Each structure stands twice: as C-alpha cells, then as structure tokens.
Amino acid sequence: MSTGLLASAQNLVAGLLDLGRTRFELFATELREELTRLTTTILGGLAVLVLAALGLAFGAAALILSVDEAHRLGATIGVALFFIAAAGVLALQLRRLAATKGRAFDATISELQRDLSAIKP
C-alpha cells in the first residue's frame, strides 16, 4: 500500500470517529435536557396535585357543610360534578400539551440525517 493511500484512510477513519464523537456528545446533551425536563415536570406535577387536592377537599367540605341540611345531597352532587368536569378539562389540556412537544433527540436525529445525506452520492 502506498503511503498516501494509508494516510488518506487514516484521515477518513479519524474524521468518522470525530464525527461520531460529536454526535454522541450532542445526544448526551439532549438526553440530559430531556431527563431534567421530565424530572421537573413530574415533581412539579406531583406538588400541584397534592396542593390542589388538599385545597379542593377542604373547600368542598366547607361548601357542603355551609349548606342547609336539606340541600346537602344536592350540594355534594354539584361539587362532585364540578370535580369531574374540571378533571376532563385538565385531561384535554394535558393531551394537547403532550402533542405539541417535539420529538425527543430531534437535533441528534436531524444531524445524523444530514450526515447520511452528505455521505450518499
């Protein structure tokens, strides 16, 4: 083998390894971002759920107890229907929010697609 061909092959392998390292670093960065976002979302969501449940439970109990005894059953049913309707609205909003988030690791995938299209003739 000639020296020029060997050097060219070594440069090609070094370039491919460097390209792979760069893409792996991008993937690792995106993975950290996704994990941070997921952790924050889960912890924040749990805190909101606990606090909202406590507030709604005490508010509902106060409302039901403040109504005359003859109308407490109706007040209890009304409070329950309100909670069911609120849960439905929140479920729809969460579904819409989940649909708007882009794909995970979108930047890594697009960079790999660019690399593939640059390599292909």
User: What is the pLDDT, as a whole number, of residue 21?
Assistant: 83
Q: Which of 4, 14, 20, 33 is nearest to 115 (CA)?
A: 20
Whether the pLDDT of residue 33 is over 60: the answer is yes
State how far the Cα of 75 lies from the Cα of 65, in Å rounded to an integer.
Answer: 9
User: What is the pLDDT, as a whole number, of residue 102?
Assistant: 67
Higher pLDDT, 66 or 4: 66
State how far the Cα of 79 lies from the Cα of 40, in Å rounded to an integer.
Answer: 31
User: What is the pLDDT, as a whole number, of residue 116?
Assistant: 72
Structure confidence at residue 121 as a pLDDT band (50, 70, 90): low
